[in-house]
Amino acid sequence: MTFDSTAFRKRFHYSGRDLGPTRTAARTRFRVWAPTADEIHLVLYKQGLGGTPVGLWRMQKSAQGTWTRAIEGDWAGIYYTYRVRRGAETHEVVDPYAPAVGSNGLRGMVVDFSKTNPPGWARDRRPAFRHPTEAVIYELHVRDATIHPSAGAKHKGLFLGLTERGLPNGAGLDHLRELGVTHLHLLPVFDFASVDETKPHKPQYNWGYDPLNYNAPEGSYSTNAADGAVRIREFKRLVLALHRAGIRVVMDVVYNHTYHGAESHFHKLVPGYYHRQNADGGFSNGSGCGNEIASDRSMVRKMIVDSLVHWAREYHIDGFRFDLMGLHDLETMKEIRRALDRVDHSILLYGEGWTGGDSPLPWNKRAMKTNVRALDRIAAFSDNIRDAIKGPVMEHAKGGFVQGEPGMEEAIKAGVVAQVAHPQVAYPKGDDWRGPWAVEPWRCVSYDSCHDNHTLWDKLALTAKDQPETVRLRMNALAAAIVLTSQGIPFLHAGEEFARTKKGVENSYNKPDSINAIDWRRKKKFAELVAYYRGLIALRRATPEFRLSSADAIRKRLTFLPGAPSGVVAFLIAGDRRHLVVVYNANRAPVTVHLPEANWSVLVDDTRAGVRPLRRLVGGPLPVPPISAFVASSSS
């Protein structure tokens, strides 16, 4: 294809940093990349929706396929589009580089970013953070957090709702601080298509994996979607509030596809360039959403990198989670890492190491979990440990280790070592997907649930429905203990610490608040489980042995104890000043393991977890209660 040729790239790749509007008080220059266009006009509007143009300016051809036009005066607050003619067809499109948009993202907006900064923004600093394995990530949807009446928020379901303190039931930001997580992972907060922003009081819901404009915040989370500057200011207030609470912010980004295919502004601007094609010339569908972005084309790669740098610099974002990262090529991911390192070396990067369907992108070029070994400080989710803990997400009735499914011990051990090679882990031969794909622990995100598929509690209800609630709560606690005492990067889904339910709905992406909203009354109902999670997080953050930074350190320090009975995984971690022993018992009955002779301080048992010793032991036979974890430390 012409777009993939070296000649096209050499002729039309534009490396400048001025795509979109470049505003000063004296003038604004607009630049758009559209090498196949025959004519482009800049169209200005007073409003983000409706009304007639207040001006129409013909743009001039410029370097490397770009078109440009400068207009004298200060145009902050003006809305704009590009009217693009190609042959007999003319389309009015939104600028892919629009830094702000009006209602429903149908027009870009020129913005004076200095006037969007909340008080204290210039002094905002990223909370201290050094190594990826030090992260404890908490995944949350903005609307879910405060839309339920039990949250008692003034700004229900909005960015500002998550800035509020002192809410009933310990909801929202106070809960995040109480848990002790290091990173808040926000489901997509860029401008997405499926919620009508002109109807803020109409009940509407979507996770946001339907991207429309990559460089502007979503308007339905703001108090006034009609003013593109308001959503910017309010999202910055949320970032600032989280930073002041000691919590870093991760954005869930969806650069793998666009909501529209042929109707997208990308396709109308440069038809066929931004999306991959299948053999018959139609849209390839590796995303499962009707199209996929061609990240391996140089101007698409540049768009993605420029967008991420924009969020990191202008909004002080501390990390990015890539939806269907397997659809991105390895070179793009490498360039992302290099570009963000120039902003801040501590920015966290991770993603889904798979695709939603087949893609024309060759397997050896995809950022799949089996290829992350080629990437520096970019991690992939471990579906291995997820399915080992609670059962495969695609087999609803099948359980995993915590439900007592036999034969799961080796898969749990592989998760404990963060999917790196270890002499005591028997990986399936010839199976890269379940093998030691991570190579290093910082490439592995360990989790038992996320927004996709059933919540942990709902999965337990499906697979252990004959068990009383007390037993399922023990399973929930054991799952958390496995995630938070395994090597790698732990990741938690919002509300799993108080048995969050979506009433059995597996794919709740567009279901109402009655399914998705977090019911904060459950925090009190399941207070013991919340305390258990809080204690495990505190223990992990206080214990370097749970956060080893290299595979060599794991192989050297972590030893699985021999002779563990079926349904039990037990291991010892040798530290510089102390040793740790960890036992997971998934059996319905107590088991006995042999604890090496030493002065042990018990830190986790079947009901409590934390950094303060619960009791002392000297070694020997140790009875471990059913469906529980045990952690103890001793001086070395």
Active site residues: 323, 352
b/e map 418-443, b = 16+ CB within 10 Å: bbbbbeebebeeeeeebbbbbbbbbb
- Is beta strand 248-253 parallel, antiparallel or unpaired with respect to 319-322? parallel
Query: How far is the C-alpha of 635 from the C-alpha of 598, rounded, in Å?
Result: 8
What letter would DSSP give residue 585?
E
Comparing C-alpha atoms, which of 424, 398, 394 is closest to residue 410? Answer: 424
Using CA atoms, how far residue 455 sits from 266, 403, 520, in Å, is 35, 15, 16
What letter would DSSP give residue 428?
P
Per the CB < 8 A criterion, the answer to whether 53 and 44 are in contact is yes
Per the CB < 8 A criterion, the answer to whether 415 and 460 are in contact is no
Which residues are within 8 A (CB) of 285 and not within 5 positions of it... i.e. 6 or more apart? 278, 291, 292, 356, 357
Q: What does the block give as tokens for 163?
A: 């800035």
Using CA atoms, how far residue 265 sits from 13, 174, 561, in Å, is 19, 40, 58
Q: How far apart are the first and last CA of the chain?
A: 64
Using CA atoms, how far residue 70 sits from 14, 17, 285, in Å, is 18, 16, 39
DSSP assignment string, 91-142:
EEE--TT-S-B-GGG-SEE---GGGGPPTTGGG--PPP---GGG--EEEE-H
Per the CB < 8 A criterion, the answer to whether 93 and 33 are in contact is no
**Across the strands, what pairs with 57?**
42
DSSP H stretches of helix in 379-468: 383-390, 409-416, 456-463
Using CA atoms, how far residue 336 sits from 254, 305, 315, 379, 387, in Å, is 14, 6, 17, 13, 30
Comparing C-alpha atoms, which of 536, 558, 539 is closest to residue 549? Answer: 558
Q: Can you tell me whether residue 369 is helix, strand or coil?
A: helix
Q: What is the largest CA-CA distance in the chain?
A: 85
